[in-house]
Structure 1
Amino acid sequence: MNRIVEIRTYTLKPGSTELFHRIMQEQSLPMLRAAGTDVVAARPSMHAPDSYLLIRAYQSLAQRGRSQDDFYTSPAWLQGPREAVMACIEHYTTAVIEADDALIGSLRQAPVPA
Structure 2
Amino acid sequence: MSNDDRTRVIELRQYQLRPGARDTLIELFDSQFIESQEACGMRVIGQFRDLDDPDRFVWLRGFASMEERAAGLTAFYGGPVWTEHGPAANATMVSSDDVHMLRPLAEPPTFQASDRTQRLLLAAILPCAPDGEIVGEIAAACSGAEGDVLALLGKEDAPNNWPRLSVHDRLVWVLIARFASEWALDRGVAAVAAAAALHADILDGPPELRRLAPTARSRL
| Length-normalised TM-score, structure 1 | 0.84
Cα distance in 1, alignment partners of residues 88 and 25 from structure 2: 8
Correspondence 1:30 to 2:24? no
Gaps of 5+ in 2: 113-149, 151-175, 179-213
* Counterpart for residue 41 of structure 1: 46
* Counterpart for residue 101 of structure 1: 108
Gaps of 5+ in 1: none
Q: Cα deviations across residues 6-49 of structure 1 (Å, max 9, x unaligned)?
A: 11110001110111111011112231123332111112122311
Cα distance in 1, alignment partners of residues 70 and 92 from structure 2: 24
Cα distance in 2, alignment partners of residues 68 and 82 from structure 1: 13
Correspondence 1:64 to 2:69? yes
Q: Which moved more, 1:92-101 or 1:102-111?
A: 102-111
Cα distance in 2, alignment partners of residues 111 and 102 from structure 1: 22
* Counterpart for residue 55 of structure 1: 60
Correspondence 1:86 to 2:76? no
Q: Over aligned residue pairs, what C-alpha RMSD do you find?
A: 2.4
1:66 Cα deviation from its structure 2 partner: 1.3
Cα distance in 1, alignment partners of residues 92 and 27 from structure 2: 12
Q: Which amino acid aligns with 1:34?
A: A
The number of equivalent residue pairs is 112
Cα distance in 2, alignment partners of residues 103 and 47 from structure 1: 25
Correspondence 1:112 to 2:116? no
Q: Which moved more, 1:9-18 or 1:37-46?
A: 37-46
Q: Which moved more, 1:13-22 or 1:36-45?
A: 36-45
In the TM superposition, structure 1's runs of 4+ consecutive aligned residues that sit over 4 Å from their partners are 107-111
**Structure-2 change in CA distance of 1:111 and 1:17 (3 Å):** closer
Cα distance in 2, alignment partners of residues 61 and 10 from structure 1: 22
Q: Which amino acid aligns with 1:84?
A: A
**Structure-2 change in CA distance of 1:112 and 1:96 (3 Å):** same
Cα distance in 2, alignment partners of residues 14 and 111 from structure 1: 21
Cα distance in 2, alignment partners of residues 110 and 90 from structure 1: 20
Given that 2:14 and 2:57 are in contact with CA atoms closer than 8 Å, whether structure 1 keeps it comes out as yes
Cα distance in 2, alignment partners of residues 15 and 55 from structure 1: 22
Question: Which one of the candidate residues 66, 77, 83 is aligned to 2:82?
Answer: 77
